[in-house]
Chain A
């Protein structure tokens, strides 16, 4: 079945540590996105990528980094520079050739900083 796989589902981190969240898709979508969700604040865009080897900052990119070396993969690193990293992280993909494209989401990764 086609879809988006995020891992891990739950992650605990000590302050000062970097962590990487995995996002893999087999939908053959060109565009991929990372959103952060906090209670009562909806979904906020961290980074997005239109194509392999290219990505752009979203609205809250500070303290995060991404890479897009393969079409299928768009990992997100939460660095120690992110002041408040505890949140629910959602990865999504879409086919930008179909305007405007429906977003397909992964199941999410819940990060807790201890």
Chain B
């Protein structure tokens, strides 16, 4: 089942912070985060592993709560370049080492000057 993201959209001024949440009805072993700019392909940001550390990318960090089956993406002191749609992805293992990745509904982030 598709993970649910919230909020669906957020508008920020440069320098403001934002949090994007991703929750799943199934047990999570890891969570991926991607960012997609309009008309472009999604770009990988980070992976959070069960029992692993909180990972960071520039001023973007994330947390992973296995018990609550949730992950949150934190954008600190947002820049114009952070604008785009953010997707979380949760692997569904289908045998062997395959990570069939199911993406969330997406969160549109717009950073204004």
Interface size on A, residues (CB 8 A): 28
User: Contact: A100 with B91, CB < 8 Å?
Assistant: yes
Residues of B within 8 A of A2 (CB): none
Given contacts A42-B87, A43-B87, A43-B103, contact A99 B42 (CB under 8 A): no
**Which of A12-20, A68-76, A105-113 is the contact stretch?**
A105-113
Q: Contacts of B101 on A, CB cut-off 8 Å?
A: 33, 45, 94, 100, 103
Option from B2, B30, B104 in Cβ contact (under 8 Å) with A100: B30
Alpha-carbon gap, A40 to B44, bound state (A): 20
Contact assessment for B104 and A42 in the assembled complex, using a CB-CB cutoff below 8 Å = yes
* A48 touches B (CB below 8 Å): yes
Question: Which chain A positions have C-beta within 8 A of B110?
Answer: none
- Which chain A residues numbered 10 to 40 have a C-beta less than 8 Å away from chain B? 31, 33, 35, 40
Which stretch of B10-18, B64-72, B92-100 is in the interface? B92-100
Evaluate whether A107 and B40 lie within 8 angstroms (CB atoms) in the complex, with A42-B104, A42-B105, A100-B47 already known: yes
Contacts of B87 in A (CB 8 A): 42-43
Residue A82, interface by CB 8 Å:
no
Query: How many interface residues does B have (CB within 8 Å)?
Result: 27
- B2 and A42 contact, CB distance less than 8 A: yes
**Chain A residues, CB < 8 A from B102:** 45, 59
Query: Contacts A94-B99, A96-B98, A100-B99 hold; do A106 and B41 have CB atoms under 8 A apart?
Result: yes
**B residues adjacent to A (C-beta < 8 A):** 2, 29-30, 32, 34, 40-44, 47, 49, 87, 89, 91, 94, 96-106
Closest 10 CB pairs of A and B: A105-B41, A43-B103, A96-B97, A100-B99, A42-B106, A100-B91, A102-B44, A50-B98, A100-B30, A42-B105
Contacts beyond the supplied A50-B96, A100-B30, A103-B101: 13 A-B pairs with Cβ under 8 Å: A31-B99, A45-B101, A48-B100, A56-B100, A96-B96, A99-B97, A100-B91, A102-B44, A103-B42, A103-B89, A105-B41, A107-B41, A108-B41
